Amino acid sequence: MIVDNSNGCFKYAFEMGRPSLAKPRLGSAQAKTRQQLIAAAAAVFAEVGFRAATVRAICDRAGANIAAINYHFGDKGKLYLEVLRFTQEEALEKYPTNLGLKADAPPELRLKAFIRSFLFRIFDEGPIAWHGKLMSREMIEPTAALDALVAEKIRPQAQQLSSIIRELLGPSATLRQSRLCGMSVVSQCLFYHHCRPVVSRLFPDQKFTRNDIENLAEHIASFSIAAIKQLAKNQ
């Protein structure tokens, strides 16, 4: 896969295989078909959800034989899990949770980076937008794939956030306090994504351009840090 980051946009091509997406010892044509199936499935699953998506619709979009999904993945469910992994990896590659900050950076800066990364991942346009759409559907109608995704991708991020918050709360903080603060931080980010249709109608001037998302990240971070530090004083 070729990824072009110019102008902040990803451009996808399939002339080259990405090792994480190709089965061992697959020929170039087979690897290309597998990649095309993942890209096509990501678009279809994001549009209609896992349950409404059909194998035929995915194969038609990928330009592949109807038996290709069984050959490369086993069934639609296993393809869906691979799509969730792939879109999560792509989103995190573009917007890593620390945004390049060093591990010893102040917790305030690391929390802001975490929030910025989260917002940009769920609001990104183009192929990365599949990630936000797929995760929104998983929250409403979870599938069997969610368990694996939580274990592999989401739990490590939750642990990272909890670690940052414990630093802000201080050594006397309980696990419950850090967990609740972490969920409050994440819920603020998700609100703007899940409730965007209502927010846009209530406040037409609220846009979601890159600058707007930067401002949202600044607000959520400042609001959260102030609340967490106040909780620390109250302990």
Q: What is the DSSP letter of 152?
A: I
Are the beta carbons of 62 and 80 closer than 8 angstroms? Answer: no
- Separation of alpha carbons 108 and 193, rounded Å: 23
CA pseudo-torsion sign 199, 204, 209, 211: negative
pLDDT for the residue numbered 111: 98
- Separation of alpha carbons 18 and 16, rounded Å: 7
Q: Is 3 helix (H, G, I), strand (E, B) or coil?
A: strand
- Token pair, residue 231, equals 């909780």
Q: Is 2 helix (H, G, I), strand (E, B) or coil?
A: strand
Helices (H), 99-209: 107-123, 129-140, 145-149, 155-169, 175-194, 196-202
pLDDT for the residue numbered 12: 34
- Which residue has tokens 């989103």? 91
Query: Going residue by residue through the chain (235 aa), what tens digit of pLDDT does each one get?
Result: 323 333 333 333 333 333 344 344 556 888 899 999 999 999 999 999 999 999 999 999 999 999 999 999 999 999 999 999 999 999 999 999 999 999 899 999 999 999 999 999 999 887 778 888 899 899 889 999 999 999 999 999 999 999 999 999 999 889 999 999 999 999 999 999 999 999 999 999 999 999 999 999 999 999 999 999 999 988 7
- What are 172-181's contacts with CB under 8 Å, separation 24+? 172/235, 173/232, 173/235, 177/231, 181/224, 181/227, 181/228, 181/231
Q: Is 12 helix (H, G, I), strand (E, B) or coil?
A: strand
- Separation of alpha carbons 168 and 161, rounded Å: 11
Q: Which of 62, 79, 63 is nearest to 71 (CA)?
A: 79
Q: Residue 27, class by beta-carbon neighbours within 10 Å (0-12 exposed, 13-18 middle, 19+ buried)?
A: exposed
What residue ranges define each of the domains in the chain, with the CATH number in brackets? 2-86 (1.10.10.60), 95-234 (1.10.357.10)
pTM: 0.82
Stretch (H or E) spanning 230: helix 210-234
Q: Is 120 helix (H, G, I), strand (E, B) or coil?
A: helix
- Which residue has tokens 């939750």? 158
Q: What is the DSSP letter of 8?
A: G
Amino acid identity of residue 17, one-letter, is: G
